[in-house]
């Protein structure tokens, strides 16, 4: 009986791992057309971000809203090692000192309704020399969290900041 239970647990674990791989590849295939990089570009690198989206409570006449101030996230390479940081601009800086700043050109809702949208970003400026020097386009995909709350910003909270945890994958593209 003990061997059957171990076999069942092993098979269940294997099935769960296979499902994760399948779901990941399906998610990669389901990137909306409007978020695809130009056809003359290729993937340069992919990093994972973990941090916060920072919002400020602002008033526009009688309406109060949480407005994005800046991202504040650490970036990690495919092996989980520190790669750099993501901050206001929006900007991405590698530990080698190379930095890019971008401008969002397209977005699509995240498949997770409680998460910030997926983006396509054009790089508008480069600083330093290093791994990001050739980057021209960035995708933000697989977002988890980071969405501003629908409530809590009112006259008594104007000017206050709120940090909302998030994670995402950033894919950097460069000319072929």
SS3 per-residue string spanning 19-69: HHHHHHHHHHHCCCHHHCCCCCEEEEEEEEEEEEEEEEEEEECCEEEEEEE
Based on the fold, state whether residues 2 and 56 are members of the same structural domain. Answer: no
Based on the fold, state whether residues 5 and 81 are members of the same structural domain. Answer: no
Based on the fold, state whether residues 46 and 129 are members of the same structural domain. Answer: yes
How many whole angstroms separate alpha carbon 91 and alpha carbon 94?
A: 10
pLDDT, tens only, 4-48: 444 444 443 443 333 334 334 334 458 999 999 999 999 999 999
pLDDT value of residue 26: 39
Based on the fold, state whether residues 66 and 95 are members of the same structural domain. Answer: yes
pLDDT, tens only, 75-106: 999 999 999 999 999 999 999 999 999 999 99
pLDDT value of residue 60: 83
What range does the domain containing 6 cover? 1-30
pLDDT, tens only, 160-170: 999 999 999 99
Query: Please, what is the average pLDDT of the chain?
Result: 87
């Amino acid at each position: 009986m003990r061997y059957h239970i171990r076999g069942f647990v092993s098979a269940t674990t294997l099935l769960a791992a296979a499902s994760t791989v399948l779901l990941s590849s399906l998610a990669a295939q389901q990137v909306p057309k409007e978020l695809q990089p130009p056809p003359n570009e290729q993937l340069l690198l992919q990093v994972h971000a973990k941090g916060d989206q920072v919002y400020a409570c602002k008033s526009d006449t009688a309406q109060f809203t949480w407005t994005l101030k800046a991202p504040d996230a650490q970036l990690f390479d495919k092996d989980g090692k520190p790669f750099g940081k993501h901050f206001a601009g929006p900007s991405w800086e590698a530990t080698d000192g190379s930095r890019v700043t971008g401008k969002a050109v397209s977005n699509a809702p995240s498949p997770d309704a409680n998460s910030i949208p997926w983006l396509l970003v054009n790089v508008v400026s480069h600083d330093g020399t290093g791994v990001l020097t050739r980057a021209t386009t960035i995708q933000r995909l697989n977002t988890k969290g980071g969405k501003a709350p629908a409530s809590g910003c009112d006259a008594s909270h104007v000017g206050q900041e709120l940090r909302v945890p998030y994670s995402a994958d950033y894919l950097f593209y460069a000319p072929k």
